[in-house]
């Protein structure tokens, strides 16, 4: 059954709300750690509205966020917070995502998060790896089974 365009937009918004709500619940109501980061808001927009794009595919989501946060934490540990580390770290993250073909635009903000929040390497597991895994799993279930979309087009 084909979903009307207007209803599809409503369902996309509800789906994004649900996924962020799950990550917020896991962050606020469990003792396992942080599951949510700011760039995930833009990620759920992409997986529920622009789901056909290469940037919405699981490989790009997972590795785009991972590479970008690694760059940000590396700059934070080696150089520290400065105007040049902010600019250069984003540039390096963009370069690496493009070079490795794991482009995910929301992840380009991760170096800024790492530097502004003075993050260390433990942030890689919670929330980056765990949060992106939840987003990928829930976006697969919701897009494929509820919204009847062909998502993902490819996993890795």
Nearest C-alpha neighbor of 60 from the set 103, 100, 110:
103
Query: What pLDDT, on a 0 to 100 scale, did the predictor assign at position 54?
Result: 97
Residue 118 burial (CB count, 10 A): 11
Nearest C-alpha neighbor of 54 from the set 121, 107, 123, 102:
102
In a domain, 90, yes or no: yes
Distance CA 100, CA 70 (A): 14
In a domain, 63, yes or no: yes
Distance CA 124, CA 52 (A): 27
Task: Give the structural domain span for 20.
Answer: 5-146
Distance CA 88, CA 94 (A): 10
Distance CA 118, CA 87 (A): 16
In a domain, 153, yes or no: no
In a domain, 156, yes or no: no
Query: What pLDDT, on a 0 to 100 scale, did the predictor assign at position 1?
Result: 64
**Cα 140 vs. chain centroid, distance in angstroms?**
14
Query: Per residue of the chain (156 residues), what is the pLDDT tens digit?
Result: 678 888 999 999 999 999 999 999 999 999 988 999 999 999 999 999 999 999 999 999 999 999 999 999 999 999 999 999 999 999 999 999 999 999 999 999 999 999 999 999 999 999 999 999 999 999 999 999 999 999 999 988
Query: What pLDDT, on a 0 to 100 scale, did the predictor assign at position 127?
Result: 96
In a domain, 151, yes or no: no
Number of domains in the chain: 1
In a domain, 81, yes or no: yes
pTM attached to this predicted model: 0.95
């Amino acid at each position: 059954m084909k979903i009307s365009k207007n209803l599809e937009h409503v369902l996309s918004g509800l789906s994004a709300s649900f996924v962020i709500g799950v990550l917020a619940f896991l962050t606020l109501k469990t003792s396992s750690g942080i599951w949510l980061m700011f760039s995930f808001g833009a990620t759920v927009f992409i997986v529920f509205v622009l789901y056909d794009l290469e940037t919405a595919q699981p490989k790009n989501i997972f590795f785009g966020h991972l590479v970008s946060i690694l760059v940000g934490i590396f700059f934070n540990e080696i150089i520290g917070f400065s105007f040049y580390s902010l600019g250069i770290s984003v540039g390096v993250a963009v370069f690496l995502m493009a070079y490795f073909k794991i482009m995910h635009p929301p992840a380009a903000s991760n170096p800024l998060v790492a530097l502004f929040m003075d993050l260390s390497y433990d942030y890689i597991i919670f929330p980056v790896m765990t949060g992106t895994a939840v987003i990928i799993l829930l976006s697969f279930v919701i897009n494929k089974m509820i919204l009847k979309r062909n998502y993902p087009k490819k996993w890795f």
